[in-house]
Structure 1
Amino acid sequence: MNLVNKRSLLKTAALSALALAALAGCSKKEEAPAAAPAPAAAPAADKLKVGFVYVSPIGDGGWTYQHELGRRAIQEKFGDKIESTFVESVPESADAERVLRDMAGQGTKLVFATSFGYQEFVQKVAPDLKDVKFEHATGYKQAENVATYDTKTFEGAYLAGIVAGGMSKTKTVGVVASVPIPEVVRNINSFVLGAQSVDPAIKAKVVWVNEWFSPPKEAEAATSLINGGVDVMYQNTNSPSVLKTAEERGVRAFGKDGDMSAYAPKAHLGSAVIDWGPYYTKVVGDTLAGQWQGGAHWWGVKEGAIDLLKIADDVPQEIKDRVAKEGPRRLAGRQLRCLDRPDQGQHGQGSPGRGPSGRPAVSHQHQLLRCRRRGQGPRHGRQVKVSCHPRAARQ
């Protein structure tokens, strides 16, 4: 090989080596810098746990069912801001204390105790559970972390009484009553006053069953009233048994607390329906905002908390007009204040439901149940004679 060819080969090899090196450099990927760590997600706000304690099954069709509708309303309103639970059929006994403490132990911070008989148990646990807010329905004892609330059920009873006074043919109406406390006595008074506002000759009979929810006893009490000449019945118990019995016996009756029209459409004259939703919505909203308020809260027709709904088609129009007139005028403006005694009651002072002797405020045979309008002195109180059936309250 001559010198020229040798130099040409060396030159060609050198150029090839440079080209390969260049290609290798071009094909090498640049590594991206490491990504900065993502900021830690902010912890989700704790849900407000809300608990409800019910005295009867949620399927009672009345008192407890309406509270359950209120619970569902707040769950829908506040969504994932709250978690609501309930325990049903809790007796007004030491079981109530156990349930209240158990709810608190599970992190519940707002508890609605929905029956009068839970009062002493709420008062007992509240001092031990200062971080829990308690709302006690129909009670009268408050504390630093205990509020009381109620619906003016006597307003619904008064409106039902107007219808009863216009529909009774025997001029005798009746009430199946639950437990002899002022709340119940108020409702009896109001129902009778409403009936007598239409027909002053109306008389009333009462049978006490001494329980809030006992369908067999309620039916038995209704039967006793019907056998005694009652043709229109009201109730202060939780099931639709009174209304069902009325339909079976061919007389008329009212639903109470919830819309009971479907249980006995022929007997049904109307239902005094409570709507707990607005109050529960306010309390939960206030609690979420850190503005929960204690004290006593009492809502009625004016606040949309109760009304007489689904009045039967065969009720005379003049009676329906009277109900429509009395609702906004007398109940919202000239509020009826019906108690067994002017100085005693759930929302006043004294021992509720008990007279000076310690006996229930309503006697076995009959009692003059005082009912007066606000602004009138005791001497002007209208006396309503309520004849109690022999099966009346046990001592």
Structure 2
Amino acid sequence: MPHPTRRHLLCGAAAIALVAALPAVADGHGPLKVAGIYTVPVEQQWVSRIHKAAEAAAARGDIEYTFTENVANTDYPRVMREYAEQGMDMIVGEVFGAEAEAREVAADYPDTAFLMGSSFKEDAALPNFAVFDNYIQDAAYLSGIIAGSMSESGNIGMVGGFPIPEVNRLMHAFMAGVREMKPEATFQVSFIGSWFDPPKAKETAFAMIENGADVMYAERFGVSDAAQERGILAIGNVIDTQADYPETVVASAIWHFEPTLDAAIAAVKAGEFTAADYGRYSFMDRGGSSLAPLGTFEGKVPQAALDLVAEREAAIKAGDFAVDINDDEPTSS
């Protein structure tokens, strides 16, 4: 197995507070030493948002940040141990494919804070291991409203990575949004069994387009390429790719990891980091998600959809409307 790629980034200090277990780090003096461990390239949608937030925290002097990308699930525990042995104050990453092993490592390093993307919940018996997930169902729902208004056939294609909760809930929210404008809409749903395989996602999308889909939900890279080549529309997920597909990507549900990471940094600095679920920081009312600007599609989306998006977004932020969180695997209509 080749040694994982390493890249590095350093900076300076600051912070505030949140929950309870680890000792205060250097009494607030100096930046936290933070390591990121990622199973895919940092350019991949989901991981890019964590990486971006960490770079921002490093740039303002709150943390010193280093990371390893392209780590196989089987190698993940070893890399966790390496960083813990190096004296990292906090390790952030995603353990969807190594849940049990990652928690075993965390138990061996009680003075290290672990903030991990996970399909499971926190465990009070493991106080230094907190979980998060991208709960951006609010923005996914709003993007669905736009998709429904832009589809002529009501036939929507949806290509995902794996049918795990963090993907399923976004798909269901998107579908609920589509039905606001197209109650009789039908959906083609498929999972490619990979977090990063653009060619496979593209081929899957082509098949759906051949089967009548006129709007694609691009949960994975490669889907928007297929939509662009076939001259249909796409809806983005986690990041805004409209600049790369100006005539294709109408809207995107954006994940902002900064609220999650900043809360964890504050907790570690205050000596109050403990087992907790940080998923709530991805909600729209916490600034953890948003709908990307329409950009090149300004003036092209039906006003009825824009009015409903504005109404629902205001209600979500005010706590008067809640998007359903459904983690069950979605299926084709």
Q: TM-score range by the shorter chain?
A: 0.7 to 0.9
Shift of 1:113: 1.6
Q: Tell me how far apart the structure 2 counterparts of residues 280 and 259 of structure 1 sit (CA, whole Å).
A: 20
* Change in CA separation of 1:316 and 1:208 when aligned onto 2, cut-off 3 Å: same
Once the two structures are TM-superposed, the CA of residue 267 in structure 1 deviates from its matched residue by 0.3
Q: Is the 8 A contact 2:39 2:69 kept in 1?
A: yes
Bigger CA radius of gyration: 1
Partner of 2:285: 302
Distance 1:48 1:338 in 2: 34
Indicate whether 1:236 and 2:219 are aligned.
yes
**Contact 1:55/1:89 (<8 A) preserved:** yes
Distance 2:214 2:100 in 1: 39
Per the TM alignment, residue 334 of structure 1 is displaced from its structure 2 partner at its CA by 2.6
After superposing the two structures, state which structure 1 stretch, 219-228 or 182-191, moved more: 182-191
Structure 2 equivalent of residue 52 of structure 1 = 36
1:202–1:330 distance in 2 versus 1, CA, 3 Å: farther
Q: 2:241 aligned with 1:255, yes or no? A: no
Residue matched to 2:92: 112
Q: Please give the per-residue CA displacement for 1:82-115, whole angstroms capped at 9, x wherever unaligned.
A: 3111111223x22111111111121112011235
| Equivalent position amino acid for 2:308 in 1 | R
**Overall identity of the aligned pairs, in %:** 31
Aligned match of 1:200:
183
Q: Indicate which of 124, 131, 154 corresponds to 2:111.
A: 131
Mapping for residues 193-342 of structure 1, pairs under 5 Å: 193-237=176-220, 239=221, 241-297=222-278, 298-299=280-281, 300-311=283-294, 312-313=297-298, 314-330=300-316, 332-340=319-327
CA distance in structure 2 between the aligned counterparts of 1:133 and 1:315, rounded to whole angstroms: 45
**Structure 2 residue 51 is the aligned partner of structure 1 residue 71:** no
One-letter code aligned to 2:234: A
Superposed displacement of residue 164, structure 1: 0.8
After superposition, the Cα gap between the structure-2 partners of 1:319 and 1:292, relative to the gap in structure 1 and judged at 3 Å, is: same
Aligned to 1:349: none
C-alpha distance in structure 2 between counterparts of 1:156 and 1:138, whole Å: 20
Q: Which has the higher contact order (CA 8 A, sep 6+)?
A: 2
Residues 330, 119 of structure 1: CA spacing in aligned structure 2 closer, same or farther, 3 A cutoff?
A: same
Q: How does 1:77-156 map to 2 (within 5 A)?
A: 77=60, 79=61, 82-91=63-72, 93-142=73-122, 143-156=126-139
Q: CA 1:82 to 1:122, structure 2 compared with 1: closer, same or farther past 3 Å?
A: same
Query: For residues 302 and 88 of structure 1, do their structure 2 counterparts lie closer, same or farther at Cα, with a shift above 3 Å needed?
Result: same
Superposed CA offset, 1:336-364 (max 9, x none): 233245xxxxxxxxxxxxxxxxxxx56xx
- Contact 1:119-1:141 within 8 A present in 2 as well: no
> What does the per-residue CA deviation read over 1:284-334, in whole Å, with 9 as the maximum and x for residues that have no partner?
122122222321122311111111112222112321221121123147433
CA contact (8 A) 1:52 1:87 kept: yes
Cα deviations across residues 168-226 of structure 1 (Å, max 9, x unaligned)? 01111111011111222222211111101111111111121011111111111111111
Question: For 2:30 and 2:139, how far apart are their aligned partners in 1?
Answer: 39
- Pairs aligned (count): 297
Cα pair 1:54 1:114 within 8 Å, conserved:
yes
1:174 counterpart letter in structure 2: G
RMSD: 1.9
- Report if the CA contact (8 A) 1:94-1:121 is conserved: no
C-alpha contact 1:145 1:294 (8 A) present in aligned 2: yes
Q: Distance in 2 between matches of 1:49 and 1:305?
A: 24
What SS does structure 1 have at the residue aligned with 2:132? strand
- Measured after TM superposition, the shift of residue 45 of structure 1 is 5.0
2: CA distance between counterparts of 1:174 and 1:105? 46
| Distance in structure 2 (CA, Å) of the matches to 1:88 and 1:302 | 31
Name 1:174's counterpart in structure 2. Answer: 157
TM-score (norm 1): 0.71
In 2, distance between residues paired with 1:55 and 1:155? 26
Letter in 2 for 1:254: I
How far apart in 2 are the matches of 1:307 and 1:179?
23
**Who is 1:5 aligned against?**
none
How far residue 228 of structure 1 moved from its aligned partner, in angstroms, is 1.0
Instruction: Please say if residues 302 and 328 of structure 1, whose CA atoms lie closer than 8 Å, have aligned partners that are also in contact.
Output: no
User: What amino acid maps onto 1:266 in structure 2?
Assistant: E
Give the conservation status (yes or no) of the 8 Å contact 1:173–1:232.
yes
The one-letter amino acid paired with 1:137 is: G
Q: Which amino acid aligns with 1:178?
A: G
